[in-house]
Amino acid sequence: MPQAVVVIGVQWGDEGKGKIVDQYSEWADVVGRFQGGNNAGHTLVVNGKQTILHLIPSGVLHPHTKCFIGSGVVVDPVVFLHEIETLKAAGHKDLESRIYLSDRCHVILDYHKALDAAREGAKGGTTIGTTKRGIGPAYEDRAARRGIRVTDLLRDGFVEKFRSNLAEKNVLLEKLYGAPVISEKEQLDKYREVGIRLAPYVRDVSNLLYEEIQAGKKILYEGAQGVLLDIDYGTYPFVTSSHTLPSQCALGLGARKPKETVFVGVMKAYTTRVGSGPFPTELRDAMGEQLRESGAEFGATTGRPRRCGWLDLVAVRYALRVSGIQHLTMTKADVLSGLKELKVCTAYKLDGRILDTFPNDAGDLERVEPVYETLEGWATDLKEIKKAADIPTPLKKYIAFIQNFTGAEVGSVSTGPGRENVIEISRPF
């Protein structure tokens, strides 16, 4: 029986991690975020009511859980406080005593968002299609050792650090990007108040998690984004600015991972991507449009339409290899219901040669042509199905094909956005 489970997206994000983390949270004592920030949008649907979380761990709807935000997360404190207010307004109680924010988290300030937007809008540069939430600029400052941390927001030293950072950012904004400068006085007033409101949630999360692990408590690690957006192992430079792999979970929360830890990869039954970057199986035709419509594929953070395409098993197999994930849960199988035939990509063609591995160079990946196998579709409404034995045969074959190709076990199939829409096959914990 494992003590910990890590949930990671194995594509380009939005695989349905929030829903799976909410489901697994019934089992967990602690749910923690360890990387990313409010570029994430995790959607939970409970009793027909939708909740979208960007920063607070997706275990929060279960009152018994403690929710930790570790040092690896970059935190926009205004978004954090707004999310708390929204949860309180929806009737969730005692949040101060179960949501803990690490004092080591780096803070996303308005100048990070302004820089993110200015860089994305600049002519001649690479447009990543970021969420413009200031994620990249905040991680840059962390690496450059001029970042401002949550602990600074609560201390007098904040003013001096902020002033020197703002002076530099204003030069960049004004001189390099022709963007409006940011007023120091307004910002100091704003963040002084934010610091006061944040204080009740701030803790030494590293130490708290250590104690929970020592006490044998069950830990659920919630990944954001997906393996293919990892800063090193994703489709660089069309990636996010953090490590999204399971190996980040111990670092990003500041406590060793329990020995018995299971990694679960969340895989959408087809593929989506938001923003720029290579996407071999993208469908720019009516089929792609149909997937977007039936899958409601619009970003939970920015509302942007998601690019849609067939399941790319070469990409998934690569994601499993670099992350060490051996268990999968497949989401949005219901979206494929009614299609006569389904295609899955099992190799790429590059310069006339067949490749069965995922190229490391984004330019090569941009040029590959997918090689497909065609599988039979299913017409059944999957929401009615609760038992593995009742899974329609073509879906069973689709699952068997994925298992054979990737070597990973598909433990469950998600059949709708609701917490109850799931068919368990073999739970790995």
Residues taking part in catalysis: 14, 42
Bridge-partner residues for 68, per DSSP?
32, 100
Amino acid code (one letter) for 358 = F
Candidates 136, 278, 309, 394; binder of ligand IMO (CB under 6 A) is: 136
Quote the tokens at residue 344: 């899955």
> What single DSSP character describes residue 305?
B
Candidates 19, 119, 133, 332; binder of ligand IMO (CB under 6 A) is: 133
Report the residue number, 133 or 317, with the smaller CB distance to ligand IMO.
133
Residues in the interface with Mg ion (CB under 5 A) total 3
Q: For ligand GDP, which stretch binds (CB under 6 A), given 233-241, 317-325, 330-338, 352-360?
A: 330-338
The site string for Mg ion over 256-295 (x = CB under 5 A, - otherwise) reads ----------------------------------------
> Cα-flanking dihedrals φ and ψ of residue 344, to 5°?
-130, 140
Q: How far is CA 354 from the centre of its chain?
A: 31
307 near ligand GDP, judged by CB under 6 A: no
C-alpha closest to that of 421 among 64, 43, 28: 43
Q: Which of residues 399-418 bind ligand GDP (CB under 6 A)?
A: 414-417
For residues 301 and 388, give the distance between their C-alpha atoms in angstroms, rounded to a whole number: 33
| Residue 291 binds which of Mg ion, ligand IMO, ligand GDP, none (CB < 5-8 A, kind-dependent) | none
Q: Which of residues 281-300 bind ligand IMO (CB under 6 A)?
A: 300
Candidates 3, 6, 8, 9; binder of ligand GDP (CB under 6 A) is: 9
**Residue 388 and residue 395 in contact, taking contact as beta carbons nearer than 8 Å:** no
Report the residue number, 191 or 238, with the smaller CB distance to ligand GDP.
238
Residues in the interface with ligand IMO (CB under 6 A) total 24
Candidates 334, 336, 423, 425; binder of ligand GDP (CB under 6 A) is: 334
For residues 274 and 337, give the distance between their C-alpha atoms in angstroms, rounded to a whole number: 23
Alpha helix positions (H), 262-376: 286-294, 313-323, 362-367
Least separation in angstroms between residue 328's CB and Mg ion is: 18
Q: For 264-288, give the secondary structure using H, E and C.
A: EEEEECCEEECCCCCCCCECCCHHH
Candidates 4, 18, 250, 312; binder of ligand GDP (CB under 6 A) is: 18
CB contact burial 210-225 (16+ within 10 A = b; e otherwise): eebbeeebbbbbbbbb
Quote the tokens at residue 420: 């109850």
**Which chain residues interact with ligand GDP by CB under 6 A?**
9, 13-19, 40-43, 45, 296, 300, 331-332, 334-335, 414-417, 421
**Which chain residues interact with ligand IMO by CB under 6 A?**
9, 12-14, 39-42, 128-131, 133, 135-136, 224-226, 229, 240-241, 274-275, 300
